[in-house]
Amino acid sequence: SQQGEEDPQALSIQEGENATMNCSYKTSINNLQWYRQNSGRGLVHLILIRSNEREKHSGRLRVTLDTSKKSSSLLITASRAADTASYFCATEETSGSRLTFGEGTQLTVNP
C-alpha cells in the first residue's frame, strides 16, 4: 500500500497564482522528498526535507514538514504554464532504505 497520500488529486489554477499540494503519511520517516513528472517522462527530484527540518526553500518552491501530524506541503509560488505536471511525495521510512511514493497531484496551470 502507498505510504504517502497527496491531496488534492488534481488542481487547476491560473498562471501567476500559487499552488499548494499536501502529502500525508503513516509511519515514522527519515526524510520526505517531492518529485515532478511531466507527461510521458521520468520523475525529477525537486526537494528533500529531513525529519528534523520544518521548512525548506528552493527557488519558487517551499516545503514544510510536520512530523507530529505526519504531513507535508509543497507550495509553488507565482506558477507558470511550464509547471503543469504531476507532483509526487515520497518518504523514506525509518525502518527501511527505500523510497515509497504517493499517488500524486496533477497540477494544471492555465496561461
Tell me the CA end-to-end span of the chain in Å, nearest whole number. Answer: 36
β-strand 10-14 against 105-110: which pairing, if any? parallel
Q: Report the residue number, 15 or 99, with the smaller CB distance to another protein.
A: 99
3 state DSSP class of 28: coil
**Dihedrals phi, psi of 71, to nearest 5 degrees:** -150, 155
Q: Report the residue number, 45 or 57, with the smaller CB distance to another protein.
A: 45
Please tell me whether residue 7 binds another protein under the rule CB under 8 A.
Answer: no
Please tell me whether residue 104 binds another protein under the rule CB under 8 A.
Answer: yes
3 state DSSP class of 96: coil
- Give the Cα separation of 29 and 111 in Å (integer): 37
Q: Report the residue number, 16 or 96, with the smaller CB distance to another protein.
A: 96
Please tell me whether residue 44 binds another protein under the rule CB under 8 A.
Answer: yes
- Which CA distances in Å does 59 have to 69, 92, 99, 101? 26, 24, 24, 23
Please tell me whether residue 57 binds another protein under the rule CB under 8 A.
Answer: no
From 14-22, 59-67, 74-82, 96-104, span contacting another protein (CB under 8 A): 96-104
Q: How many residues bind another protein (CB under 8 A)?
A: 25
Footprint of another protein (CB under 8 A): 2, 4, 30-31, 33, 35, 40-45, 48, 88, 90, 92, 96-104
